Amino acid sequence: MVKLYNWNDLPRQFVRKGIERCGFRGEDVMLVMNFAQPEIQINPHQHAFEQLALCIHGRLKYHVGDEVFEMTPGSMLRIPPNTMHYAEPVGDEVVLNLDIFAPMRADYRHLVEYQKDEFDRGISIE
């Protein structure tokens, strides 16, 4: 079964002050759209997952390890596993930042619960 979705209509998760996110999945890939307000509470973190980050709208400084990357729409970068990173919006508009994870992150499975009927074996993410 194939269905059409729009980021603006998907259920969003409030993460912390200034940021919400929603997800979309394929068979073994997950996209996470982050809606970051200028007043975001930054959150340096790391995880065992490789992450691809794409700037869709707005401008941001993406801190990866000891480097800072200025991102504008169309910019993308790879964040290696276990690397400290965080995004910091620049300016006064909402930033749309798309993260891609393959394989999918089990800890984000709640973001794609709405798609469970599209997959024969349900929402199982191992």
Q: Is the pLDDT of residue 122 over 90?
A: no
Inter-residue contact 103 to 28 (CB < 8 Å): yes
With respect to residue 86, please indicate whether it lies within any of the assigned structural domains.
Answer: yes
In a domain, 118, yes or no: no
pLDDT band at 123 (very low <50, low <70, confident <90, very high): very low
The chain-wide mean pLDDT, for the chain, equals 92
Neighbours of 9 (CB within 10 A): 8
pLDDT exceeds 70 at position 120: no
CATH of the domain at 76: 2.60.120.10
Evaluate whether residue 126 is within a structural domain. Answer: no
Query: Hunting for tokens 């603006």 — which residue is that?
Result: 8
Instruction: Identify whether 115 is part of a domain.
Output: no
**CA-to-CA distance for 62 and 68, rounded, in angstroms?**
6
The torsion of the CA quartet 120, 26, 37, 65, rounded to 10 degrees, works out to 130
Q: Is residue 124 part of a domain?
A: no
CA distance 28 to 33: 17
Q: Judge contact between 40 and 34, C-beta under 8 A.
A: no
Looking at the domain assignment, is residue 82 inside a domain?
yes
Q: Which H/E stretch holds residue 115?
A: none
pLDDT band with cut points at 50, 70 and 90 for residue 41: confident
The pLDDT of residue 26: 94
The 10s digit of each residue's pLDDT in 59-105 is 999 999 999 999 999 999 999 999 999 999 999 999 999 999 999 99
Does 25 map to a domain? yes
Q: Does residue 114 belong to any structural domain of this protein? A: no
Share of the chain above pLDDT 70, in %: 94
How many domains does the chain divide into? 1
Asked whether residue 20 carries a pLDDT value surpassing 80, the answer given is yes
User: Range of 82's domain?
Assistant: 12-106
